[in-house]
Amino acid sequence: MVGSAARGWTGRNWRLGIPLAAAVAWASAAGAAEDAAAQAAKALSLRSEARAFEHGEGVPRDGGKAAKLYCEAARLGDAEAQYSVGWMYANGRGVPRDDALAAYFFDLAARQGHSHAAGMLRFVGTELAGKPECMNDPEDLEGSDVIAAAPPERRKILELVSRLAPQYGVYPRLAMAVIRAESNFNPAAVSPKNAQGLMQLIPETSARFNVKKPFDPEENIRGGLAYLRWLLAYFKGDVALVAAAYNAGEGAVNRYRGIPPYEETRGYVKRIVELFRKDEHPFDPSVTEPSPELARIRTVRSM
């Protein structure tokens, strides 16, 4: 945008005595204004949707979803959304009461001149919670925030994931979420079902993806990434189905035509989706044919 705008001004601005640098600055400012307007419009849409879920207006009341949507709008700088999600946490409305988290959001809104938020800070106290997960950039698919926050003993594993994942067409953040949920970064982990290593490969999966040394961090990660790449193609990038299949097997997902009704699997899927923060992931259709049940799964979901 900047380049084309500046090129369009080049001839005329010199005749008017306006330096090229000024034209570029003008174009940059115009682009920034457009981006800010688009961001404000998105925040307003998210806030409106959140309010509907908070009050059950046209949709079933869902406090957790309302808080999540408010937080997305809050991340975009919407002071009213910052106040609203703070109010939910201050009053325990649809979410567990948390004064420190409420104070975090009220403080954000108050800094933008929101008078009611400033007033609420007197009631919830001045102890602010740390930055909540929903305030992180959801497009950080490389997981740079995860690496930055990790203790030194985990950082080497995360950096290895960051290097290897793109080779398999997998976003590092998704692989990091799986490792965290599977082994909590313990390369020597063994489950009661004999799942092994960082990405908890059962012997059959290790054999399927040619993993000879499942407790070797790099080889284990490569095997898990190969399986994720296959699952992403099999379920056409549907992150929830991929997570369910990684935990319970693709056969179980096909059999139940969706996420199996196992408490462990449902909790696992929730953790992966929350950590990855996206519902869809790009996939390579040449890896495998899609699940023969995928159309039925999507039909059941839409009902």
- From first CA to last CA, the distance across the chain in angstroms is 42
* Both tokens assigned to 237: 């990038």
Contact 166, 175 (CB under 8 A): no
Q: Could you give the CA distance from residue 178 to residue 94 in angstroms, rounded to a whole number?
A: 28
Please, which residues have CB within 8 angstroms of residue 282's CB and are 6 or more apart in sequence?
Answer: 169, 232, 237
For residues 292 and 295, give the distance between their C-alpha atoms in angstroms, rounded to a whole number: 7
Catalytic residue from among 72, 182, 250, 293: 182
- Which residues sit opposite 238 in a β-bridge? 280
Q: Residue 72: name the closest of 89, 85, 53, 90 by CA.
A: 85
Q: Measure the CA–CA gap between 269 and 193, rounded to whole angstroms.
A: 19
204 is annotated as an active-site residue:
no
Active site residues: 182
